[in-house]
Structure 1
Amino acid sequence: MTDIAPAPTGTAVKHEIYWRETESVTPGAPLREDLRCDVCIVGGGYTALWTAHFLKKADPRLEIVIVEEDYAGAGASGHNDGFVTPTIGHSLGALVHRFGAERAKLAYAAVGKSILELNRFCAKQGIDAEFESAGYYQVASNPDQIRLLERDLELAARLGAQSGLDLLDRARARDRIGSPAIEAAVKVGGALINPHRLARGLFRVVTALPGVSLYEQTRALAVEPVAGGHVVRTPQADVTATKVLYATNAYQHQFAEFRRKVVPVWSYAAVTRPLTDDELGAVHWPEREGFVEAGNFIVFGRLTAGNRLLFGGGRAHYRFRRDMDVPRNIDNPDASEALHAVLRRYFPMWQHVPFTHTYGGCVAITREVVPHVGALGDGRFYAHGFCGNGIALTHTTGKVLRDLILGRDTSYSDLLFVHGKEKPFPPEPLAFLGAGALSSVLAAQDRHPRLIRRQIV
C-alpha cells in the first residue's frame, strides 16, 4: 500500500469535517419549557429548514418549532461534498427502470428547477455559500465507463434533454479538465457550493421568520400520540403539535417506525491544502467544474473556493447495527488511501500535494435506493433516503412536504418518490451480511462491467 502524502511538516492530518472550518458555529440553547405549535419538525438539516421556509410562505399564521440534537446543519446537510446535482437516488438509469421515463422526467424537471432557485435564494438572502454555477462533468476513464455515459445520454434523450447534451471525446474533455485520466465526458447542469455555509445561511433566514423557533442541542427522545396531535418528548421539555415531521435522514432509523426503512452508510472524503498559483497553473481547468466518474461506486473531485482539492466517494461502508459513532468511524485509512490513489490517477502533477483533512460521514440509503417522502396517516410526515444527492432534492422535498402537511393535491405531492412502496431492510445480522454482499457485487460490476450487465440498483 502506498502511503498517503503527509501533511505539511509539523501538521497532522485532521480527521474532521473540512467545511466546518469555513464558518464557526455556537449551538443555540436547548428547549427548556413546554410548547404548543402547529407543526413540530424533528431534525435541523436542509429538509427541515426548507419545509419550514415553504410552509411559512404558504401560511404565515403557522407556528413552527424545530428541534435539533446538535446544531442546524450538523449532519449530512453540512458535511456533504457540495455537488448540487439533479440526481434522484442512485442514478438516472435506476430511476427510469423503476418508474418509467415520463415520471422520471417530471421529477428531474422539479429538481432542476430547485437548482436554479437555490442560486437565486442565496443571492436574494445574501448567503455566501460559495455558489459556483458552472455545473460538473460525468467522466469516463476507460471504454466500459464510456459505454455507461452513452447509456445515460440515451436515457436523457428519452427524457427530452436538450440536443446540446453530447459526449465529449478525450481531446475536448481534457480541454475542460486537463486530467490525463479522462477519456470522455458529459456536461451536466448543476453547481458547486459550500454545504456548511448554505445550511447556516438557511438557518438564519428561517429562524428570522415570525413564528419559527429552532432549538439546538435538543434531542427528540420519543413522539407520542395525544388528543389532537402528538407530543415530542425532549430531555427537558415537551412540544405538543398538531402535526409532526420526521426530518432526520440518516438518523431516521432511530425511530421505531423507520427502523428498517432507512440505513446510514459511511462515505469518505479528503481535502488537500490550498494549491499555489504555480500548482494551479499546471492543470488546464478554466471553469473549475467538478467531475464524477461513472460507476456504481462513484469517485469525484472538485476545487473549493479556497483552491483546495476535495476528493470523495468510493466503496460504501455499512456498519453493523447501523453504527454511526463518529470517533470510531470518522477515520478510515483504507478509504483515505483509495482517495489519494484517485488524486494520483487524475492529477499526477499534484500527487505531492498533501491531504490536510480526511473524514467520513453518513448518508441515508433506502432499499430501493430512492428517497421516501410521505405521511403515516395520523398527522405525522417523513422524508429520508436522499442517497448522497440531497442538496437540490431537499429543496424540492420541502415543497412536497409543504403540500402534504397542508393537505394539498399538487404536482409536487405526486412526484415519483412520494408515497412510494417501501421495502424494509432485513433485521441484523442479515442486513449487515446483505449489505456486504451487495457492495461486493457492485464493486465487481465496476471492475468487470461486461460480466454483470444488468441494472442491479
Structure 2
Amino acid sequence: MTETANALTDAPANVPVKHEIYWRDTEPVTAGPALREDVHCDVAIIGGGYTGLWTAFYLKQADPSLEIHVLEAEYAGAGASGHNDGFMTPTIGHSLSALIHRFGTERAKLAYSMVGRSMLELRRFCRKYEVDAELEPTGYLQVASNRNQLRLLERDLDLIEQLGGQQSIELLGAADARERVDSPAIVGAFEVGGSLINPHKLARGLFRVVRDLGVHIHESTTVTAMRRAAGGHVLTTPYARVTAPKVLLATNAYQHQFAAMRRKVVPVWSYAAVTRPLTDRELAQVHWPDREGFVEAGNFIVFGRLTAENRLLFGGGRANYHYGRDMDESRHIDSPAATAALRGVLSRYFPQWRDIPFSHTYGGCVAITREMVPHVGSAGDGVFYAHGYCGNGISVTHTASKSLRDLILGRDSVYTNLLFVNGKERGFPPEPIAFLGSKVVTRALAVQDRYPHLVRAQIF
C-alpha cells in the first residue's frame, strides 16, 4: 500500500465517474415549458445564456416599458455559460499581446478597464440580488512551470505595465509562489485580479433576477427559422411564432447555425476533470491558504482550482475542432485522451493527490473567432449579435451586454466603441479547409508553446 493510501484511510470510497457537467449537480434544473402562443414584442433574444440574460437585464433597467422575450432551446445557462470552469478574469479573447498588437495600447487599455468594472459589478450584483454563485474574490495566479513560461510571464507583466496596470504586481519566484500554492510544478507566478465562481449557479440566479424584472423567458423553445416580414422579424418555434422589430442572436458556440454567422465562429471542445471532495486530511497536505485558482502560461493553457465543495477541478489542454462544427455531446463529451492528460496535470502539480479519483470528466464547446476576440455588433435591419468569447466569457459577456443594450437602443457610447464592437471581422474558410487548417494551427500553437520566442501563430 502506498504512503498516500495509508495516510488517507478516512477518504470516501470510489464512485463511478460521470461524463456529465459537474456544475449541474450543484443545482438541479427542470427546464420550463415551451412557448405555446404567438407573441409580438419589442426585442426578441435567441439564447438564454449570459449574453442574452445580461442584455435583457440592462435593456429592462434602461427602459422598463420594453417587452422582451428570451427564447432558449434547453434551460437558461445550459450552454457554455453554465459549464465553463468558473474563472472570472479580465481576459479579453485569448492573448493580451495579440490584442495590443491588433488594436493598440489605448484601445486595449479602455477595453480592459471596462471588463475590470464588470468584475466589480458582478460581485455587487450577487450581493444585491442574493445570488449564491459561490463567489470567492481570491484573484488567481498566472503561473510558470518552466523557463519558457517564465519568459511569457515577464512579457505579460511588461504589457500590463503598458496598460497602466497595478504597479504592485511583481513576478514571484518559486519559493514565494509556493507560499501561495505549494506545488512543485510552479517556478514563478504573478497575481491577477478576479474571482472564482460557480458558473451554473450564476446563470440560474441571473435567470431568476431577469424573470422577476418582467422579462419573458421561454425555456424548451428552439428557434427553427427566422425571416423578415411586416412588423419586423418572425421567429418560428415548434408551437408558436415571435415577431419583433429587433432580434439579438446570442447563442455563442451555436451561432454558426445562423446563415449570416456560419463562418464567423467555430466551436472547439475543451475538457475538464473534477475529483470527489477532498477530506480535511487531504486538504492539509498542501499549503493553499487563499484557495486562488491558477492558470499556466501558454497557448494551450491548463488550470486548476478548488470548488466550494473542496473538489479539485483541472481543465484545459489542446482544444479540438471537429469536422463540420460537430457539437454532438454523445460523441465528444467523454475524451479518454483528455482525461489522461488532465490526470497528468494533477499529478504534476500535486503528486500527493495523484491517486484521488475523478468523479466527473467532461467536455464542452468554446466559441472561437478568427481574430481570437469576441464579435459584438449590428448585422443591420434590426439584427444584433455577440459570440466568440474564446473561453473567457464570464466578465466579458457582462461588458458586451452593455454594448448590445446601447446598440439596440441606438445610443453612441463608450461601450459601442470598444475594440470588439462592429470591428473588421474575418470569416473562417469553408470545409474541408477549416478542418485541415485547424490541425495546422493546433500544431503551430503547440510549437510556439514549446518555443515561445517564435513569431506569434495566427488562427488560419
TM-score bracket for the superposition, by shorter chain length = over 0.9
Pair 1:455–1:427, CA change in 2 (3 A): closer
The aligned counterpart of 1:150 is 154
Output aligned runs, 1:211-360, within 5 Å.
Answer: 212-360=215-363
Output aligned runs, 1:419-430, within 5 Å.
Answer: 419-430=422-433
Q: Is the 8 A contact 1:230 1:244 kept in 2?
A: yes
Aligned pair 1:174/2:193, yes or no?
no
Q: Deviations over 1:300-355 (max 9, x none)?
A: 00000000000000001000100000011000000000000000000001001111
Superposed displacement of residue 376, structure 1: 1.1
Q: Is the 8 A contact 2:374 2:386 kept in 1?
A: yes
The residue type equivalent to 2:354 in the other structure is Q
Superposed displacement of residue 166, structure 1: 1.1
Aligned counterparts of 2:242 and 2:352: Cα–Cα separation in 1: 56
Superposed displacement of residue 130, structure 1: 0.2
The residue type equivalent to 1:454 in the other structure is R
Aligned counterparts of 2:272 and 2:290: Cα–Cα separation in 1: 22
Aligned counterparts of 2:339 and 2:156: Cα–Cα separation in 1: 29
The aligned counterpart of 1:202 is 206
Matched positions, count = 450
The aligned counterpart of 2:109 is 105
Aligned counterparts of 2:457 and 2:69: Cα–Cα separation in 1: 42
Output aligned runs, 1:183-198, within 5 Å.
Answer: 183-198=187-202
The aligned counterpart of 2:133 is 129
The residue type equivalent to 1:100 in the other structure is G
Q: Secondary structure at the match of 1:322?
A: coil
Superposed displacement of residue 10, structure 1: 6.2
Output aligned runs, 1:305-454, within 5 Å.
Answer: 305-450=308-453, 452-454=454-456
Q: Is the 8 A contact 2:49 2:203 kept in 1?
A: yes
Aligned counterparts of 1:364 and 1:10: Cα–Cα separation in 2: 34
The residue type equivalent to 2:257 in the other structure is Q
The residue type equivalent to 1:50 in the other structure is W
The residue type equivalent to 2:172 in the other structure is L
Q: Secondary structure at the match of 2:119?
A: helix
Q: Is the 8 A contact 2:269 2:365 kept in 1?
A: yes
The aligned counterpart of 2:8 is none
Unaligned segments of structure 2, at least 5 residues: 6-10
Q: Secondary structure at the match of 2:361?
A: strand
Superposed displacement of residue 453, structure 1: 3.7
Superposed displacement of residue 455, structure 1: 5.1
Q: Secondary structure at the match of 1:150?
A: helix
Superposed displacement of residue 11, structure 1: 2.3
Unaligned segments of structure 1, at least 5 residues: none
Q: Secondary structure at the match of 1:267?
A: strand
Q: Is the 8 A contact 2:377 2:407 kept in 1?
A: yes
Aligned counterparts of 2:456 and 2:248: Cα–Cα separation in 1: 37
Superposed displacement of residue 94, structure 1: 1.0
Superposed displacement of residue 8, structure 1: 7.0
The residue type equivalent to 2:177 in the other structure is A
Superposed displacement of residue 377, structure 1: 1.3
The residue type equivalent to 2:242 in the other structure is V
Aligned counterparts of 2:41 and 2:405: Cα–Cα separation in 1: 16
Aligned counterparts of 1:429 and 1:453: Cα–Cα separation in 2: 26
Q: Is the 8 A contact 1:8 1:354 kept in 2?
A: no
Aligned counterparts of 1:109 and 1:18: Cα–Cα separation in 2: 32
Q: Deviations over 1:158-197 (max 9, x none)?
A: 0001210110111110000000000000100000000000
Q: Deviations over 1:276-298 (max 9, x none)?
A: 11111111100000000000000
Q: Secondary structure at the match of 1:321?
A: coil
The aligned counterpart of 2:40 is 36
Aligned pair 1:161/2:165, yes or no?
yes
- TM-score of the superposition, structure 2-length normalised? 0.96
The aligned counterpart of 2:69 is 65
Q: Deviations over 1:49-106 (max 9, x none)?
A: 0000000000011000000000000000000000001000001111101100100000
Q: Is the 8 A contact 2:448 2:457 kept in 1?
A: no
Q: Secondary structure at the match of 1:274?
A: coil
Q: Deviations over 1:109-131 (max 9, x none)?
A: 00000000001100110110000
Q: Is the 8 A contact 1:83 1:391 kept in 2?
A: yes
Aligned pair 1:141/2:162, yes or no?
no
Identity %: 68
Q: Is the 8 A contact 1:94 1:455 kept in 2?
A: no
Aligned counterparts of 2:379 and 2:74: Cα–Cα separation in 1: 26
Q: Secondary structure at the match of 1:381?
A: strand
- TM-score of the superposition, structure 1-length normalised? 0.97
Superposed displacement of residue 228, structure 1: 3.0
Q: Is the 8 A contact 1:86 1:189 kept in 2?
A: yes
Alignment equivalent of 2:23, drawn from 6, 19, 24: 19
Q: Is the 8 A contact 1:44 1:72 kept in 2?
A: yes
Aligned counterparts of 1:436 and 1:9: Cα–Cα separation in 2: 41
Q: Secondary structure at the match of 2:324?
A: helix
